[in-house]
């Protein structure tokens, strides 16, 4: 079995969605003074590699704590979306992957944007699904969609149409995944367990692919 950690490191200088505060770390107790080391961490629920719940955008929507634990693990596949025409991933781009997608619970999109992590270009120009492609995926009964970019919608849009299609069908969204290149063409198990807290509109996750 080979394991691929797809999770971004959470640290103060990490990229965050525009106008969002980065995480803050403070030593709350030290070995020298209290006899043990403990940190206080302050961060938003959509920091780093994270998961969106329906409640993130839909009033009264389902929260992560309302999902069973098996909603966060299952067979997965990667769609190679590097260099797609027009910067959008339409239904026609998904057709060649249909058999793999039908066998999967999670569909992860390798847009190549993971290579721009820590660079200003990470926040703009990344390929996104069309709402029609998102609806096509919903129709196949998947559990989640993951991307190696900051969002499944372009940054700064007033209507998050792809978010609403997926979350409206209670399909989970995982954003800011690390490199997916090594998983193209592979069948693998994917896990993305969120923190367990009440009324979770989202949460950082530890995203891992297990191959073999």
- What pLDDT digit, counting tens, does each position of 40-56 carry? 999 999 999 999 999 99
d(CA 181, CA 128): 17
Helix, strand counts (H, E) of the chain: 4, 12
Beta-sheet pairing, 188-194 with 88-89: unpaired
Domains delineated in the chain: 2-7+45-211 (3.50.30.50)
Question: What is the per-residue pLDDT for 104?
Answer: 98
- Average pLDDT over the chain reads 96
For the CA atoms of 119, 40, 55, 114, the dihedral, rounded to the nearest 10 degrees, stands at 20
d(CA 77, CA 102): 10
pLDDT in tens, 141-151: 999 999 999 99
Does position 156 have pLDDT exceeding 90, yes or no?
Answer: no
**DSSP strand E in the chain: where?**
2-5, 24-29, 38-42, 50-52, 73-80, 88-89, 106-110, 128-129, 144-147, 172-175, 188-194, 202-211
d(CA 37, CA 185): 43
Question: What is the per-residue pLDDT for 86?
Answer: 72
Nearest to 76 by CA among 188, 185, 176, 177: 188
DSSP 82-107: TT-GGGEE-HHHHGGGHHHHHT-SEE
Question: What is the per-residue pLDDT for 145?
Answer: 98
Question: What is the per-residue pLDDT for 38?
Answer: 98
């Amino acid at each position: 079995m080979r394991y691929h950690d797809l999770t971004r490191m959470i640290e103060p200088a990490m990229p965050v969605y525009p106008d969002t505060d980065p995480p803050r770390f403070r030593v709350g107790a030290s070995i020298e003074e209290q006899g043990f080391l403990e940190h206080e961490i302050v961060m938003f629920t959509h920091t780093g590699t994270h998961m969106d719940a329906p409640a993130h955008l839909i009033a009264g929507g389902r929260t992560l704590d309302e999902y069973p634990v098996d909603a966060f693990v299952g067979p997965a596949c990667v769609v190679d979306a590097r260099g797609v025409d027009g910067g959008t991933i339409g239904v026609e781009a998904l057709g060649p992957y249909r058999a793999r997608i039908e066998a999967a619970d999670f569909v992860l999109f390798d847009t190549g944007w993971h290579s721009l992590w820590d660079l200003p270009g990470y926040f703009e120009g990344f390929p996104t699904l069309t709402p029609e492609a998102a609806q096509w995926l919903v129709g196949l009964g998947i559990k989640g969609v993951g991307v190696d970019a900051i969002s499944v919608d372009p940054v700064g849009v007033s209507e998050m149409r792809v978010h609403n299609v997926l979350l409206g069908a209670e399909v989970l969204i995982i954003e800011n995944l690390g490199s997916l290149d090594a998983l193209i063409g592979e069948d693998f198990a994917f896990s993305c367990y969120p923190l367990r807290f009440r009324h979770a509109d989202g949460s950082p996750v530890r995203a891992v692919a297990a191959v073999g």
